[in-house]
Structure 1
Amino acid sequence: MTAFAALHHAGTPLLLPNAWDHASAVALAAQGFAAVGTTSLGVAAAAGLPDGAAATRDATLNLALALGSGPFLLSVDAEGGFSDDPDEVAAVARELAAVGAVGINLEDGRPDGTLAPVGLHAAKIAAVKSAVPGLFVNARTDTYWPGNGDDGGDMDDTNRRLDAYQQAGADGVFVPGLSEPSRITALLKTLDVPLNILYSPTGPTVPVLADLGVRRISLGSLLYRRALGAAVETAALIRAGRSVDGAAPTYGEVQALVRPASERPDVLG
């Protein structure tokens, strides 16, 4: 079992914060997080690209290159693998592993709100596990995402999809948008691999999710969205002549997060 996989089987769930650039990832690691994920929304928005539309392959690989040698375990949100060709998805996984990533998220949701065929997503998972056996594949199903909520999700479809993804070799499964405790409990009874739930400020707390048996809790795009909101709020307060509260790292503290040019890897083309 890899060190990253072991974090999913420890006494407490893996709380995985999600970064969108080098500074955010290093700052999170400095707070004691052993593993850091990336957020596809944050990476896409920072590049002026849409999320979930397979438009951020290069940006994602470049970020992984910058972060993969950091003092933390890196899991990368690769949307749907940036392709519907399992061999091309496996090639992306090989590139991520080559630069130091230890995990990958693969989602079955598509930009138009539909879900990929179960067999296709299972084939992607199998291709990745065949190409890079040690890479932790967190197979995401979007049966409860986006905007469906627990009233709109389909548990039968969720169970069918996750069973297929487990059989294809997924090391963990992810159901963002699922937050109702009784449904989480019911789902856990059907799984042989760790369950990942997306934290929501309006959903169960981390201790509650831990008590239910959830093994991984992701923060997704929450940190990026809060940072963006704080930046806009700060500018508006200053414009209005009002004082600004809250902590902010100093210039020197941010500079300390940056790697010297001599230590930076070449950027992928």
Structure 2
Amino acid sequence: MIKHVLLRAASVMAVVAGSVVATAPAYAIINGKPATASYSFVVSVQREYGGDPNTQWCGGALVAPTWVVTAAHCVTKPGVDGAPYTPVAPSTWHVRVGSNDRTRGGSTANVAEIEVAPGYVNRADRNDGKDIALMRLDKPMAQRPIALAVVAPAPGEVVRQLGWGYTDIEQNKPSELPVLLRQLDSPVVPPNSPQCVADPVAGDSYGIRPHDFCADYPDDVSGSCGGDSGSPVIQAAFGRYQLAGVQSRAPGDVCGQSPDIDTSVAHYRRWILNAMG
């Protein structure tokens, strides 16, 4: 099962009978546990797929009443004719906000607009970072947004990954995605750690880039997976959680067996605030 593109879901395309169709979400949190708290800001990004109008596709975080942060690869496809990416229509997506159960509770909204970070490029065989995007919702949410981190988490600090991705590397059908939110606490490791830079088999195509950080659970079998793309990576600070990162990818092919590469929200804080207006 391919891990390196957590993504691995939303941006990969397949050609079937001469037409281009979206592939199913790849893999979630392997060896995580059920969420131990209710997170008002957590977002399930959903779309129609395979006859299910509410297929879990990616995650996100509510950062303002009408704005959600997610991964850029969740809302784009590879570019053609020299374009850095091909946008997916905002009307493709809808969200459920503030419920640990992705099928009920919280609030729902449609996506009205998408903003992708400057410099992001969607490639089918590589991720060069800048993997962050904003979704503007068609109505304000009542749930409390999460604060944006001011500084990136340092090596040795612990971050919490949230998500509804697959929980077993043998799973590969959307119907196998968990209904209830899961979490995993992982330490941040130095960005020059060999396992963050490249995978022995897959190389450096999905390794760490500037303005990313690397979280590596030490057992080599735990981590995020495809349905977790775009989901929040949070950190406790000053008595509350802040959004430290956006789940992006991993250098290796098997979920949990290589570290997670997350986009640092602190670096993109000014862009996020300016884009929201």
Q: Does the alignment reach a TM-score above 0.5?
A: no
Which structure has the greater CA radius of gyration? 1
Higher strand share: 2
Per chain length, whose mean CA-contact separation is higher, i.e. which structure has more relative contact order (CA < 8 Å, sep 6+)? 2
Higher helix share: 1
